[in-house]
Every structure is written in structure tokens, then in C-alpha cells.
Amino acid sequence: MPLPRPRTPLADLTESRRGRPARRAAAALGLAAATTLSGLAAPLAPAGAAADGPIGPVFSNGMAQPVFSSNRADWIREEVWIEVPVDSDGDGRNDRVHAEVTRLRETETAGLKSPVVYEVSPYYAGGNPVTNHNVDHELHQARRPGKGWLNRGGKTTDPAKDERLAAATADEAAADEMAAAGTGPQPIISTSHEANWLPRGFAVVHAESLGSGRSDGCPTTGGRNETLGAKAVVDWLNGRARAYDAAGREVNPTWTTGKVGMIGTSYNGTLPNAVASTGVEGLEAIVPISAISNWYDYYRANGAVVAPGGYQGEDADVLAEYVYTRSDKQICRSLIERLAQEQDRVTGDYSAFWDERNYMNDVGNVHAAVLVAHGLNDWNVKTKHAAQWYGALKERGVPHKIYLHQGGHGGSPSLDVLNRWFTRYLWGQENGVENDPRALVQREDRRLVEYAEWPDPASAATTLNLAPGANGAAGGLTLGRTRRGRPVTETIVDDASKRAQALADAATSPNRLAYKSGTLTGPVRLSGTPRLSLRMSFGQPAANVTALLVDYDQNGKAKIVTRGWTDPQNRKSISRTEPVKPGTPYRLDLDMQPHDYVFAAGHRIGIVLLSSDYEYTIRPAPGARLRLDTTKSTVTLPFVGGAGTFAAAIAD
């Protein structure tokens, strides 16, 4: 047997952490008795019980109770480097992922075996200031002056203002305090989740994704090596991988049951999707929050180069550079350069590069119970990621639940919801969570409403027609056919400097087409994915096409509910660019981002069509002309109650 590879001394790593207050633990439940893992009645010990307390978990109301010590001084903290069966940095040795274990002292003194709540992240060591790609250029003429990742020509992303980093590294105040006190491994990776889960008998593991922090290997923005790096931790916890401490001694996790639940937000939530898609044994549950299910859909849409909201000009190479925080700053440079070429910002086509980063391909391997959480107004990781992942899991009979809230990026379910999920699938308690309503949706008034499933089973595709306007004013959006016979066309003149909100609000504009329903006499709820089928021609060989679903209030003020984009050169396939012949009409089918939204009585439902979208698409010079044939274009909206509900709501 070969000896463990000796590690060089670990240099101190400067971390960019956001100090955040620790998440508030749930109040102790005032119950007289509870259930132990053996099923016997036992007194419910108070939260904060020390090592002389119970040696097994206690359950009440289907949830693990905080009966173990909440004092961090009573916990064991250790760090390991876990071997990964990949050499992504090309140094001739397998990569290793740096991880930190926090577990109860009872796992050492009383034979307690704990399941694991596990989070892996490329963000724990902060991020690098990075320059995004320039987006102000003609379509299919993306320029990247200079060599290397410098001189991209776009705006700079500052880690201190990055919502992804903030969402992924919340609850780090305790880590900063412990680092300052010099207790435990230095620097501490993270303390998130510990206050919630250790007192309930779980262990917590944090790991740094390959290429970040004190892991080696390279970041690849969703590449296979990152999946294997995150998966290796689950393998180690189940005896299938080796881990070593800083001195090179092998470390075995004899303290765990091997049952693992992954959780995280943003990139930290994406990696659970990735690991679950491998079908790895021991991963029993995941909670992906604001998570990516297909990296193509993060940086592209129907063949168009489309940015994540708030990160205009970012792409896979930029994000890889951003999270490349390991100490060796040279070893991964050529790999990141290769990402820049293979991601293809010129055509926006789906390719082998993106196919490697599409977890939907392997959703059939998932056996872990999945609790999806997503903000309905998340324009960073858009709602399509949650909807398509959840839909595929539902179709395959994987245990599933979805939580949708009114916020943007981030937003976890409550501790009680998480506790029931992890208690059921990590502790094996039959608490009936699989019989609960599948969907928990926060409504516009902030009430949480349970639905049997999502999208609502009562939603039905409702096809609406477009009636042309006049002199740039809005036309109609109706159930009835608006005109038969010869084409009726309207024109959009592209101007990428005009923002979507301003165009939706404008009473008239040559830079958009708008269509509005009659005034609603009652509420109409949308649940699912809006779709458009458009007949369009173009005055030039390339153009963006953007669609907005809009809620107009009683004063005509527009609220953009959701939107979608497409490249007409990808009208037949997202994998193949085909020329557009100016003046020739083409059929374009595009989906908008899924949503669950109630249009209130007194409001009007609107569709707005424009070309370039300032906040998301490439921004060519103004002047391109697009023509829409309203007689051969439709919008299909998933209304709860279908066409009947819509018709009743607009009846005079």
C-alpha cells in the first residue's frame, strides 16, 4: 500500500468573509415527551445539554430536537484533505478537496453515530475582482482584445458587492470569532448550519470546491471535475475514498452513519444537484436553494448569449477566475483560457462544453430526496433551473418538494421544513413528510400557501392572440382570433440603450410592441411556463428577440412578471446556428421563465416584445428592424382554471 502523499505546509489564506449574525435557531418546543431513535418515549432534554445528556437523538412532531450541547466548545472540529479520482490541475497527482468536520463530542465518548449535513462551496475563501466581457458590440462579433483573462473590456465584479458570495457565506460571524480566538483549524472554512444541526445530533461538513481555498485542482464552472470533487466527500463518509490530515495521516470517519444531506445556496446549491446526478450511494437528501440545473441556461437562452441578472458580460471563464482562490495562481491559467474558447460567446450554441455541465442529462440517476427552494424573482439563477429540475424529478418518482418565495436570489425554507426533511431522510424517522402537499408557495401578500403540486395541477395552457395597435400604442391580447387572411405586420426598431422597464411603461414607442388584455374583473393566477410562438422577419442577418410578460395596474404602471429571449438563428435548434435571410418570415418558439403569479382584479395582462434587452443580452448598435405578423403569432399562458377562468375575468 503506498504511503499517503506528504503535504507541504499550508500557507495562511486571506479570506474575504462577510460577517453575518448567526441564523436564529428555532425556539425550544414545550413538549413533555418525545421519541428516541429506538422509538421509546424519553424526556425531552433542554437545548444545550452537555456530554452527560442523551447519547441518541430525540424526536418530536416528526423533527429532531435540540437535546445535545449548543456550546461550540463541546464540539469536535477537524480538517481533512479528501482524495478525488481526477487530476484537473495536471500536476500528475489526484486532486484533493479540503474539508472540515464539526461533530458532537458524544461521537467520540459515547458511541453516537451521526448523519451529516454537508455544504460544499467555491466561495468560502472569497472571490477575486474580475472583469466581465464587453457586451456592446454587433451580434456574432464578440471581441476579446488582448490575451488571457485580462482586457475583456466589460465591467468589474467586486466580491464585496456580490450577492452570490453574500448568499453562500451567510452566518459566518462565528467562524470569524473562532479564527480570532485561535481555536480549531485555521482558518475555519465556515460555521454555517452548525448551530441548527449539531444540537439535533447531526454532524456538519464544509468543503472547498476544487481550485478554491485550500483545495487543489482547478475551477471549471460546473465541469465534471467539480462534481467529482464534491462527490468525494460523500464517498469518504461511506468508506469509499481516502482522507488525510495536515500531517499526512489517514483519517477514517468512524463516527458517522454514512447518511448525508447536502444543502446550499447559489453555487453551493448547484453542487448538490451535480452530486445527486451521479447517483452516489449515501447521499439521501439534498436542498438546492437558488441552484443551477443546467449551466447553459445560466449563461444562454435559446441560442442567445444572456447574462445572469446583475452580472452582464459574465461567462463561465469569468466565474472560474472569480473562484480561483487556491494559493497557486498559475497552474490553472491555461485551463481557464480553454474555458474562454469553448464556451463560445460568438454563436451562443449549445455544445459538448455545455452538455458536460447539464445535470438534466443525468437526472435519472437521482435517488436522493430533493427539496427545491427558489425565489420567484431570482433573475440571477432564473426560475427555469428550479422548474425543469423539479419537473424531471417529479416525473421519475423521486421524493420531492418545492418551496417558492417572493424574494430574489437565496432564501431558505424554514428550519421546521428543513428539519422534517432531514429527520425523515437522514435519521429515517417515518414522520409522513412524503405525504405533505408538495408545493409551499409564498403568495404576493407574503402568506405561505400549500398546494398539492407545482405547477398547480389545475393550470391549463391558454392560447391568446395578438391584435395590432396603432401608431406605436398597445394592441390587444384576446382569446378570439383577431384577424384572418393576409398578414398584418408591426415593426420593432432595436435600441439596446432603452431598458425593458421603460419600454413596458411607455404609452407609445417604436422600440417595442405591446399587447394588453381587457381589465380583469377578478384575480387570475398563472402557474407554470409562459410560451410564445411568433412569426417574424428581420431586416438584417442577426437580431435579439426579447419577450416580457407584464402586469399593468389601474394607473397603467407596468410590472415585469417574467421574460424570455431567443436568437432567430437558432430557430430550429439551440445546437445549430442557421443564417437568417433578411425579409424572410420565420417561426420562432420561445419559453419565458416559469412563474407563479396572481394578476389582481382591476389590472391588465400584457405582452411586450422588443429586440435587445439592456440588462441581459448583447447590445448591438441601434437601428435593426424586426417585423411581427400578428395574425400568425400567439402567446400561451398557464392559467389556473384555463381559458374559462381568463374569459370570466375579462367579461363585461
DSSP string over 226-251:
HHHHHHHHHHHHTTSS-EE-TTS-B-
Handedness of CA 45, 48, 52, 55 (dihedral sign): positive
The residues near 489 (Cβ < 8 Å, ≥ 6 apart) are 537, 627, 628, 629, 630
Cell (9 digits) for 140: 456574432
* 300-301 and 513-516 strand pairing: unpaired
Q: Which three cell numbers stand for residue 235?
A: 464517498
The DSSP letter of residue 21 is P
**Residue 13, number of CB atoms within 10 A of its CB:** 18
Active site residues: 266, 378, 409
3-state secondary structure of 147: coil
Cβ neighbours of residue 543 under 8 Å, at least 6 residues apart? 139, 494, 568, 580, 611, 624, 626
How many angstroms from the chain centroid is the CA of residue 303? 20
Grid cell for residue 110: 459515547
d(CA 298, CA 92): 32
Cα radius of gyration (the chain): 26
How far is residue 407's CA from residue 559's CA, in Å, rounded to a whole number?
Answer: 15
Helical spans, DSSP H, in 448-572: 500-505
Q: Are strands 256-265 and 283-289 parallel, antiparallel or unpaired?
A: parallel
Backbone region of residue 346 per phi and psi (left: phi > 0; alpha: psi in -120 to 50; beta: other values): alpha
Cα 242 to chain centroid, rounded: 30
- Strand 439-442 and strand 400-405: the pairing is parallel
Q: Give 69-122 as a 3 state SS string.
A: CCCHHHEEEEEEEEECCCCCCCCCCCCEEEEEEEEECHHHHCCCCEEEEEEEEC
Closest CA to 491 of 506, 507, 469: 469
**Could you give the CA distance from residue 205 to residue 282 in angstroms, rounded to a whole number?**
14
